[in-house]
Amino acid sequence: MEIRLRTDADMPALLAALKATHEVDKYPVLPNHVTREWLLEGDDGMAWVAEDGGDVLGHIAVAETEEDPDSLSVHRLFVRPGARGRGVASALLTTVETYSRVLGQDLFLEVLSHNTDAIHLYESRGWFRVGGYTATWGAPDGTHPEINLFASPHNDRSHVFELGAGRPTE
């Protein structure tokens, strides 16, 4: 498996993987977000794919946070359902963790509360929960999902802030 920068040529395979991810995990929550525009939204162009033998297995991106330009936020992390259990998500996370350390920036991510597999992965890698909020947008069933905020284990623990928008839960 190779982790490399995302290119425009990856888009058809990434959109197919994103569609499969939505069907299994409801990520993204809204089916109309399985688009190129949603995938590229807010990532500042720093994005990587996991590839094996020409097959795109997963994706991750980072961007400066709105709250603090010295911190980065993980965006659009997903692994094609058929490629799970092979360390793809861990390899992608290692890539962005290394990138943030090289830049000397803290790294944060948001994860929907129902995505327990992802939460388990983050916690097993030492990520720690720093808060949460209720989404201001609604899911197809009319509910407003709960979102957890996590910080990288490499972060300066004194530099923890609320990431994102919405109603804080703590």
pTM: 0.88
Q: Which pLDDT tens digit goes with each residue over 21-54?
A: 999 988 888 888 899 999 998 777 799 999 999 9
Distance CA 146, CA 111 (A): 9
The pLDDT of residue 115 is above 60 = yes
pLDDT of residue 160: 57
Per-residue pLDDT tens over the stretch 4-23: 999 999 999 999 999 999 99
Would you say 48 and 3 are in contact if contact means Cβ atoms under 8 Å apart?
A: yes
What fold does the segment set 2-168 form as a domain? Aminopeptidase (3.40.630)
pLDDT confidence tier of residue 159, bands split at 50, 70 and 90: low
Residue type, 133: Y
What are the pLDDT digits (tens) for 128-156? 998 888 888 888 888 898 999 999 998 87
- Provide the 3-class DSSP secondary structure of residue 120: helix
Q: What are the domain boundaries of the chain? A: 2-168
